[in-house]
Chain A
């Protein structure tokens, strides 16, 4: 960590319980992802493992500020912390990664491609930027049903996704409809291996907000309290009828694109810079400094996370994968549509 000087006073609008819950989600996410990485390296997970190391603060902030059962959260690849904060069951993660037939995706899709669409959490596809219009459609449906009051739809992307046509079309569409969409951009310096200067030419992605006619925020994505404060402002503003919000968090992905990638393209000086701080360490120092949590509580949360993760992995590992002979091999809900 580069320094220990953090704001002493937390935002009075941030409830201590919310701050603590977010940090706990971040801890649990780190423990879970570390376990998933081990399972991948041991050959127990097929395909890939994609972590959100270093992005837990911004992801968790969005997840914790959205309410399961009311709001919509459309997570992307590096949102394990946000998923936990939005109360996704750890079993959904372990079952999907380990290919259990009992998971929400039943082995039909894997790893981060999971969700519970009917509970406000769509399952991402790999093509970037498409979540913006999807959430916009979910919000439009709520408006048409007269059930939009107080609802926010949040989604995450990385800096790479901002180069897609889908991102542009989706944000513009949400802005035209003035829907409560909060888009969090984790500007994590690299899209896979491509540095941001090969991705876009504006100084900051924040500049994009004005072009779409939406509110824009920029935040140090390594600063836990700042992330919570900023995302809260954006979510509150969307909830109050302020239309779409764009939050850009500057940070560094502290892992490879996936666990197959050693991220050797990240220059050491960037790792050593302020961007390379670990948001979990920053959060720990901030919360201890504010007296919001004690060392022993953190330690207990770590232990609890380890136990919960072990249990979720153990359950999923015992479960059967899908049986190709029992599979109905049907891509439509109506029978007879494939002939």
Chain B
């Protein structure tokens, strides 16, 4: 009996609804239909009052969630695709993100963002949005890469009194399986060493963790030991874990699926350079998706985002310096 990444999200939501009357779900097509990805399948039948279909109004969905949170609820908003959160950008960064600082009243909303590419999804159903929201004060941004993290981080997010952008990767939904949810005491703010090594560190998150591991496994056959760090949350960003890994390896590749201008990988590099310059044996490197909209055709899409091949190429370059 194995559990997929989307099963873990479903299970976490079912348990949150069961255990806490202040939790409710709001999103497009999440009621009787069970959601575009079936993350809420069957929940409307059990909790008819607390699983509600929303009109196609991303801005108002977030406005509603902030209002409900002020009144003591813990809303989980399902953004049908993370890409559509651009419509809710104002409410997220100006209403939710500023609320605690301005008024002293925290707003415990969790916004589930189905993000990242799958073949054929094209420019408007594939985007990564973590760098965008990480930039703004007042928002916590989590990026689970494993089945267990999808479960635990969602539960922790909902119970955090602050707004959380929960980036769940669509490519992992059904592809990623686990025998069970692993027990963990790791807080949301901590990164995790997925694979240890001594020649170079790859710092990444979300679906790219798996691509990095694939690349590392291939390079291992040539004798290279690559350490892979899964950030788990990009804000807060566990700089200590990153720096201590670079201290062991002396080489850094920051890897992300989002667009290349700025963002998480740039932040990781800048922190390592500023705080751990002396630890570096080579210039730190970044690898991101290409600086174009995300293409539709599967062949173009596969080449747009980092792949094990492009990661290996980048790591070879890094290891040759």
Contacts and interface: CB of A to CB of B under 8 A. Distances in A.
A and B from one complex? yes
Interface of A: 104-106, 108-109, 113, 115-118, 122-123, 125-127, 130-142, 144-145, 165-166, 169-170, 172-173, 176, 330-334, 336-339
Nearest to A170: B60
A117 to B, nearest CB: 5
A142 B54 CA distance: 18
A134 B60 CA distance: 8
Interface in B167-192: 189
A157 B63 CA distance: 16
A105 B67 CA distance: 18
Given A130-B63, A137-B64, A339-B237, A172 B102 contact: no
B94 A125 contact: yes
A113 B102 contact: yes
Interface string B48-70: 01100011011111111111111
B24 A144 contact: yes
A330 B95 CA distance: 16
A338 B99 CA distance: 15
The 9 closest A-B pairs by CB, nearest first: A137-B67, A133-B63, A141-B71, A137-B64, A169-B60, A133-B60, A169-B57, A333-B106, A331-B137
Most chain B beta-carbon neighbours within 10 Å: one of A131, A140, A172, A332 = A332
Interface of B: 24, 49-50, 54-55, 57-73, 75, 87, 90-91, 94-95, 97-106, 137-138, 140, 160-162, 189, 235-239
Given A109-B102, A144-B24, A332 B138 contact: yes
A125 B22 CA distance: 26
A337 B103 contact: no
Given A138-B70, A173-B61, A334-B162, 15 more contacts: A106-B104, A109-B102, A113-B102, A118-B70, A122-B67, A127-B90, A130-B94, A132-B60, A133-B64, A137-B68, A141-B70, A169-B58, A170-B59, A332-B162, A339-B189
A133 B2 CA distance: 40
Contacts of B75: 137
B64 A173 contact: yes
Contacts, number: 153
Given A125-B95, A133-B60, A144 B100 contact: no
Contacts of A165: 59, 87
Contact of A331 (B58, B67, B87, B97): B97
Contact of A127 (B54, B94, B102): B94
Contacts of B140: 332, 334, 337
Contact of B102 (A108, A130, A332, A339): A108
B57 A337 contact: no
B235 A337 contact: yes
A172 B63 CA distance: 13
A104 B59 CA distance: 27
Contacts of A331: 97-98, 100-101, 137-138
Contacts of B63: 130-134, 136-137, 166, 169-170
A118 B71 CA distance: 7
Nearest to A118: B105
Contacts of A169: 55, 57-60, 63
A170 B60 CA distance: 5
Contacts of B101: 108, 330-331
B162 A130 contact: no
Given A125-B98, A137-B64, A141-B73, A172 B106 contact: no
